[in-house]
Structure 1
Amino acid sequence: MTSETQPRPASGRRRTAGRAVAGAALADALLIMLFAAIGRDAHQRGEILTGVLLTAWPFLAGAALGWLAARVWRRPLSVRPSGLAVWIGAVAGGMVLRALTGQTVVIAFVVVASLSLGIFLVGYRLLLAGARRLGWTRSQR
C-alpha cells in the first residue's frame, strides 16, 4: 500500500476538517469585507478601515447566524446547505441589522447586496465543487 492509498488516521481527518472550517470562515469574512470595501469605494466615502467595518459588521453578523443555523462547520465548503445558508444569513441578517441601527436599506441596495454576496459566498463554493468533480485535488498537484 502506498501512502496515497492508506487511510488517514482520525487525527489527520480532524485536522483537515478544522482547516476547512477555518478556511471557509475566513473566506466568508474576507469576501464580505471585500463587498463592503467595493461598495464604499463606489460611493467615495472616507474612513477606509473603520468605514468598511461599519458597513460590513451587519453582514458578518448575519453570516455568523447563517453558520449557526445551518451548522456550516459540518460541511463548510458545500454549496447546499452551507453556502446558501451563509448567503441568506448575510443578506437577511445584514439588512435587518442595518435597519435596526438606522443604516440605509433601500431596494436597490438589497438587490445589489443579494447578487454580490451570492456570487461571493456561493460562488467560491461552486468553483471548489467543480474542481472536485474534475478531480483537481491536492494529491494531483
Structure 2
Amino acid sequence: MRRPRIPVLALVADAVAVLVFAAIGRASHEEAGSVVGLLGTAAPFLVGVVAAWASPWVRAHPVGIRAGGLVLAGTAVLGLLLRAAFTGRLPLSFAIVTVVSLAVLLLGWRGIAALTSRLSHRRTSVR
C-alpha cells in the first residue's frame, strides 16, 4: 500500500537535490551566496523537475529508479534548454557536469531509499 505522503516527500527530495546542485555550482564558481541568486540558478532545473512530475509514471512510482530516470531526463534536458535560452550559450562541459551531478543527486537518494527499504523489509520478515 502506497502512503499518500510518499509522492510529496519524493517531490521535495527532488527539489532539494536541484537546490543542492545549484548551491554547489555557485560555490565552486565563487558566486555570491544570496538566496535570490541560488533560486535564479536553480529555477530552470526546478521547472524541469515540475515538468517531469507531470508524468503519471513519476507520480505513480515516485521513489523508483525508472521514475528517477524520467525526473533526471526532464530536469537535465529542460533545465539545460532553458538555461541556454536565457544565457545564450551552453558549454558542453557544463552540460556534462550538470547531467552527472543531477544523476548522482536524483538517482542517489532513490537508491538509498530502495536499499533502506529492502533492509527494513528483511528485518521485519526475519522476526
TM range (shorter): 0.7 to 0.9
The Cα of 1:71 is off from its aligned counterpart by: 3.4
1:38-94 CA distance string (max 9 Å, x none) = 1001101115211110110100101111111353111110011x1001011110000
Q: Which amino acid in structure 1 is aligned with residue 97 of structure 2? A: V
Q: Unaligned 5+ residue runs, structure 1?
A: 1-12
Paired with 1:71 and 1:61, the residues of 2 have a C-alpha distance of 18
Matched, 1:124 2:99: no
Alpha-carbon spacing, 1:38–1:103, altered in 2? closer, same or farther (3 Å): farther
**Distance (Å, rounded) in 2 between the aligned partners of 1:48 and 1:85:** 30
The equivalent residue for 1:44 is: 30
Identify which of 96, 99, 107 aligns with 2:81: 96
Length-normalised TM-score, structure 1? 0.80
Aligned length: 123
Give SS of 1:99's match. helix
Is there any run of 5+ residues in structure 2 with no aligned partner, and where? none
Asked which structure has the greater RCO (Cα within 8 Å, sep 6+), the reply is 2
Query: Superposition RMSD on alpha carbons, in Å?
Result: 1.8
Q: Is 2:54 aligned against 1:79?
A: no
Q: Work out whether residues 58 and 93 of structure 1, in 8 Å CA contact, stay in contact via their aligned partners in 2.
A: yes
TM-score by length of 2: 0.88
What is the CA distance between 1:104 and its match in structure 2? 4.5
Identity %: 34
Structure-2 change in CA distance of 1:105 and 1:70 (3 Å): farther
Residue number in structure 2 paired with 1:60: 46
Which residue type is aligned with residue 79 of structure 2?
A: G
**Counterpart code for 1:24:** A
Point out the structure with the larger helix share.
2
In structure 2, relative to structure 1, the CA distance for the partners of 1:68 and 1:107 (3 Å cut) is same
